[in-house]
Every structure is written in structure tokens, then in C-alpha cells.
Amino acid sequence: MNLRFSGRFFSVTALLVLFIVGAWLYAGHDENYALQKLFFRARYDRYDEWIVQAANRYGISPSLVKAVIWRESRFHPEMLGTRGERGLMQITEGAAQDWAKAEKVETFVPTDLLDPKTNIEAGTWYLANALKHWAGKDDPVSFALAEYNAGRTRVIRWEKSSGLGGGFGADDLHSIMDFPATRAYVRSIADRYLDFKKQGEFPGEASSSAPPKSRE
């Protein structure tokens, strides 16, 4: 009787542990990316072809695009944000309309953002524009990511409030941001971007793609 009870207890405990670990990995905690990808490889690699296509079209790093997708949705194309953001790259309707106008996509409707290919194209276009806008900075990636998360208006406000003008750099940006969530957002994507490049996530990626500064 005791042995039978012990066996059942062990089985239930093992199942509970597996359930907790599985749920934890599924939630996508930063420090366990390798394990997440091992368990959910199909989902984590499913969009690589479209990522490369969009990145090449708009002239940015596919590793950076994938890092944004990882942070925004953990590769769930049906993800909906609290402020109307949709899909893999959590695109707002306003940003999507700007993309559709620029690319002359006359049939676009907001629900199209739940299509992974469309979402990746719109998000990559927006990210590429942000990188171009901040190209004169010492670390355009950090500025572009801050804009992607908090909006260009807020980043410009942070720049103006610094009183440094054109000398306002990435270190100043990180120290002055009054949105702790944005600071964490930029850091987490920058770290994942560097990791993707180090691990060769996209073997053919040009080595000239400038990585963001590493920060503690």
C-alpha cells in the first residue's frame, strides 16, 4: 500500500514539475531562450524566411527584426496588445496605415496584421525608418528600439530635455529615459540581438550590421 502510494505520489509530482517547467518555458523567460527554442523550434524558426526577405528589402539586420519579434510576441502571430497592437511585431493601426500608404497597399485593413508575413513587413519598415531617423547617433539601434516602444515624440522629448542637442548619445538616452519599461525593453532586445549574431542565427547575415552597445 505504501509503495503504491509512493509511486502515485512520485508520478503526480513529476507531472506537476513537467507542467510548471513547460509553462515557464512557454511564457518565454529571457534567460532560457536556448531551452525555449529546443522545445518550440517550429514556432521559433517558422518565420525566418519572411524575416530575411523583409530585412533585405528595408536594409536592416534580420537578427534585429527577430529579436524584436521575440520580445514583442514570443513568436505568437495572434498576439493582441492592450493598446490595439497586433501580431508578431505588435504593430499599431496608425503605424500600419503609414506603412500601407508608403508601400501603396490599397487593400490593407487592420486585421491583416494578424497575417505573419504582412506583420513582419510592416514592423520591419517601421523599424528601418526609425534606424534611418537616428542614423547620426552613436548607437542608432538603441534609439530606434526606444522609439519602437515609446514613440518618436517621447525620444525627441528626452533628447531635448537633456540640453545636449546633437551630442545626446545612447548612454544619455539610457540614463534619462523616465520609462523603466522602455529601458528594460531596449536592453533585452539589444542582448538578444547580440546573441543571435554571435550564434549565427542567420548564417548569411552581413557582418557589417552594427550591433548596439552592450550595457549592464
Q: What is the pTM of this model?
A: 0.80
Instruction: Convert the pLDDT of each residue in 151-175 to its tens digit.
Output: 999 999 999 988 887 788 899 898 8
Whole-angstrom CA distances from 161 to 87, 154, 165, 176, 181 are 33, 10, 9, 9, 19
Q: Do residues 28 and 98 make contact, with C-beta atoms less than 8 angstroms apart?
A: no
Domain residue limits, the chain: 1-39, 41-199
- From 3.40.50.620, 1.10.530.10, 3.40.50.300, 1.20.120.1630, which CATH number describes the 41-199 domain? 1.10.530.10
Whole-angstrom CA distances from 129 to 24, 124, 194 are 35, 9, 21
Instruction: Convert the pLDDT of each residue in 27-49 to its tens digit.
Output: 444 556 667 666 777 788 999 99
Q: What mean pLDDT is reported for the chain?
A: 84
Instruction: Convert the pLDDT of each residue in 69-123 to its tens digit.
Output: 999 999 999 999 998 999 999 999 999 999 999 999 999 999 999 999 999 999 9
How confident is the model at residue 25, as a pLDDT?
A: 43
pLDDT higher for 15 or 155? Answer: 155
Whole-angstrom CA distances from 202 to 33, 36, 72 are 16, 18, 20
Whole-angstrom CA distances from 100 to 46, 73, 80, 97, 110 are 24, 22, 20, 5, 10
Q: Do residues 142 and 133 make contact, with C-beta atoms less than 8 angstroms apart?
A: no
How confident is the model at residue 6, as a pLDDT?
A: 53
Location of C-alpha cell 519598415:
125
Whole-angstrom CA distances from 185 to 78, 87, 147 are 21, 18, 11
